[in-house]
């Protein structure tokens, strides 16, 4: 069996000109990364932090994902206006989404696409930018240690 070529990639996400779904303030966006393994089934991989009152967010959270060469990895980035404390997305305002492959992001290093609604129509003038950076050394391990009541020698 041949070994798979795989590397880790860091994805950073920002958005511009998001729809404003809040009354009296601006949307509180959060980005959700979904992965499609086969067919129509999408599953949630991870979420960014929520940024309050912002229509042009630059999310701090970095998505770390395995990039398998010569394998089509379908990704979907969904942007939601979060106004409650539940983890369910069904009760949040949908601001738009973008579907692409990990290969498209990696090959372009920075991919900017318009956000679309679930109907396929544009989400206003909203856009999403995803930048990719290969994590060079996968052999590095970070340890965080704590010690108490050590002998003073």
| Tokens found for residue 63 | 């998505």
At residue 146, the 3 state secondary structure works out as coil
Q: What is the per-residue pLDDT for 2?
A: 54
Q: What's the first-to-final CA gap in the chain, in angstroms? A: 55
- Delineate the domains of the chain, giving CATH numbers in brackets: 6-134 (2.60.40.150)
Half-sphere exposure for 78 (CA within 13 Å, toward CB): 20
Q: What are phi and psi of 93, to 5 degrees?
A: -75, 130
Report how far residue 136's alpha carbon sits from residue 153's, in angstroms, rounded to the nearest whole number.
40
Mean pLDDT by 10 residues, the chain (153 residues): 78 96 87 90 95 96 93 96 88 95 95 96 96 81 76 79
59: its two tokens:
């999310």
DSSP string computed for 39-107: TTEEEEEEE----TT-SS-B----EEEEEETTS--EEEEEEEE--SS-S-STTSEEEEEEEEEHHHHHH
Confidence (pTM): 0.84
């Amino acid at each position: 069996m041949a070994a798979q070529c795989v590397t880790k990639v860091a994805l950073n996400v920002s958005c511009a000109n998001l729809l404003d779904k809040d009354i009296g303030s601006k949307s509180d966006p959060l980005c959700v990364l979904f992965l499609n393994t086969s067919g129509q089934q999408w599953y949630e991989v991870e979420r960014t932090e929520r940024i309050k009152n912002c229509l042009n967010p630059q999310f701090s959270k970095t998505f770390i994902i395995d990039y398998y060469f010569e394998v089509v990895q379908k990704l979907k980035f969904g942007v939601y206006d979060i106004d409650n404390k539940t983890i369910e997305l069904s009760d949040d305002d949908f601001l738009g989404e973008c579907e692409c492959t990990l290969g498209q992001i990696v090959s372009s290093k920075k991919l900017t696409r318009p956000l679309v609604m679930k109907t396929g129509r544009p989400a206003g003038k909203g856009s999403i930018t995803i930048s990719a950076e290969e994590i060079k050394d996968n052999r590095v391990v970070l340890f965080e240690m704590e010690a108490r009541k050590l002998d003073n020698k």
